[in-house]
Homo-oligomer: A and B are copies of this chain.
Amino acid sequence: MPPTEVLVPLRWSDMDAYGHVNNVQFLRLLEDARVLGLPRWFPQGGYLLDQGIVVARHEIEYLAPMDYRSEPIAVDLWVTRIGGAAFDLGYVVRDAAGPDRAAPGAADVGVTTATVYAVAETSMALYDFAAAGPRRMTRGERMALDAQRGESVPFRRRR
């Protein structure tokens, strides 16, 4: 299963005093990529977001400065690990494909010149808000996440 492509709009205010999209705002973009993308993995509803998941960990590498543009950027979203009460998400933050963002004819041959701005990974812990504690993954959740499993995040600088 290829990653899920989520288009995430930028805001002018994502830029900081250096005139580029601020490094913290990248995490904000990933948040919206999850909010927009995860429901697609649970088309029959009742998915885990309703029951509660919390962010337990983030890791992100910045590869290129991102400038503000009025068109959305693309975030590839997939599952990198599934545990008993947690799972990890991988992300690639890149230019969305489009006639103005690739060389002429590139799309025809599956080639893209899109810039990759960041790669990242988030650990999500399943949470039971009612019981105020962690909870086990259900069989249905595991099956839905397993269908989205992909490769490790291509970090360059992981310690």
Question: A interface vs B, CB < 8 Å?
Answer: 9, 11-13, 15-17, 19, 22-24, 27-28, 31-32, 35-36, 54-62, 65, 68, 70, 121, 123, 157-159
Contacts and interface: CB of A to CB of B under 8 A. Distances in A.
A13 B31 contact: yes
Nearest to A122: B23
B12 A13 contact: no
Contact of A15 (B12, B17, B28, B157): B17
A74 to B, nearest CB: 15
Contacts of A121: 159
Interface residues of A, dominant DSSP = mixed
Contacts of A27: 23-24, 27, 58
A29 to B, nearest CB: 9
Nearest to A68: B17
A90 to B, nearest CB: 11
Residue from the set A15, A55, A159 with the largest chain B CB neighbour count within 10 Å: A159
B9 A9 contact: yes
A70 B36 CA distance: 7
14 contacts: A12-B35, A13-B16, A13-B22, A13-B24, A16-B16, A17-B17, A23-B27, A23-B54, A23-B58, A24-B24, A27-B58, A35-B70, A57-B59, A121-B159
A11 B24 contact: no
Contacts of A12: 16-17, 31-32, 35
